[in-house]
């Protein structure tokens, strides 16, 4: 159970998004734009950033769900995510992505931890201004999402739920249903949870 009574009974951020429709819709739309909207970075690369920052923040729900989505996009059974978490410098990703993930890791510590030399290094490895912008924004947003999820004490999903969750997120994204359907969706989720 979350620290507050939501009446939703879903794991992680889903519980919170449906608790308050106005913020849930805004946060869902932001996540959809960040991870599925136009960018020089693929959705898989952006999901990898979200997963990595969530791991650095020790937010298990977000790390697992975004790892699962990255796994679908990257189609490698989790090898890239595992390698990035274990040893970024040796991970089987481009030098550009290593530089962007290094910047994302610094954003996770503090925005002020990012230095001009980090930006220059990313550019030297092929990152565009837009790539750097998007990596920083995804990292910053996931610090907020991670703190939202953990600050209200949400529950993890069952381990076997993450692969299906990853497929849904990778294929359908993060769009929120119309607000007039919110109560019905909550009723359906809670009904499904009891079966």
DSSP annotation of 35: H
| Rounded Cα gap, residues 34 and 161, in angstroms | 23
pLDDT at 185: 81
Residues lower than pLDDT 70 in the chain = 193-195
Kindly state whether residue 169 falls inside one of the protein's structural domains: yes
Kindly state whether residue 7 falls inside one of the protein's structural domains: no
Kindly state whether residue 168 falls inside one of the protein's structural domains: yes
pLDDT at 195: 44
Quick: pLDDT tens for 14-24.
Answer: 999 999 999 99
Q: Does this model's pTM top 0.85?
A: yes
Kindly state whether residue 60 falls inside one of the protein's structural domains: yes
| Rounded Cα gap, residues 51 and 86, in angstroms | 13
Q: Which domain holds residue 189?
A: 12-194
Q: In this structure, are residues 108 and 53 in contact, taking their beta carbons and an 8 Å threshold? A: yes
| Rounded Cα gap, residues 37 and 54, in angstroms | 20
Cα–Cα nearest to 81, from 50, 106, 59: 50
**Domain of 93: which CATH number?**
1.20.1290.10
pLDDT at 193: 58
Kindly state whether residue 55 falls inside one of the protein's structural domains: yes
pLDDT at 69: 98
Per DSSP, the residues of 91-114 read SSS-HHHHHHHHHHHHHHH-GGG-
Q: In this structure, are residues 47 and 138 in contact, taking their beta carbons and an 8 Å threshold? A: no
pLDDT at 194: 46
Q: In this structure, are residues 49 and 100 in contact, taking their beta carbons and an 8 Å threshold? A: yes
Kindly state whether residue 5 falls inside one of the protein's structural domains: no
Quick: pLDDT tens for 62-88.
Answer: 999 999 999 999 999 999 999 999 999
Kindly state whether residue 4 falls inside one of the protein's structural domains: no
Kindly state whether residue 163 falls inside one of the protein's structural domains: yes
Number of domains in the chain: 1
């Amino acid at each position: 159970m979350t620290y507050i009574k939501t009446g939703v009974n879903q794991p992680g951020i889903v519980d919170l998004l449906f608790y308050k429709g106005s913020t849930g819709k805004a946060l869902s739309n932001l996540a959809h734009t960040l991870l599925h909207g136009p960018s020089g970075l693929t959705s898989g690369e952006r999901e990898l950033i979200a997963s990595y920052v969530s791991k650095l923040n020790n937010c298990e729900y977000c790390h697992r769900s975004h790892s699962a989505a990255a796994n679908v996009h990257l189609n490698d059974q989790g090898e890239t995510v595992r390698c990035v978490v274990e040893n970024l410098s040796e991970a089987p990703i481009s030098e550009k992505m290593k530089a962007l993930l290094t910047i994302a890791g610094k954003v996770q510590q503090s925005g002020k931890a990012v230095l001009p030399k980090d930006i220059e290094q990313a550019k030297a490895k092929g990152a565009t201004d837009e790539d750097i912008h998007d990596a920083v924004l995804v990292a910053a947003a996931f610090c907020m999402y991670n703190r939202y999820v953990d600050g209200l004490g949400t529950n993890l999903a069952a381990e076997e739920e993450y692969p299906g969750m990853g497929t849904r997120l990778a294929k359908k994204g993060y769009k929120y249903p119309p607000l007039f359907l919110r109560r019905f969706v909550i009723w359906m989720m809670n009904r499904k949870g009891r079966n």
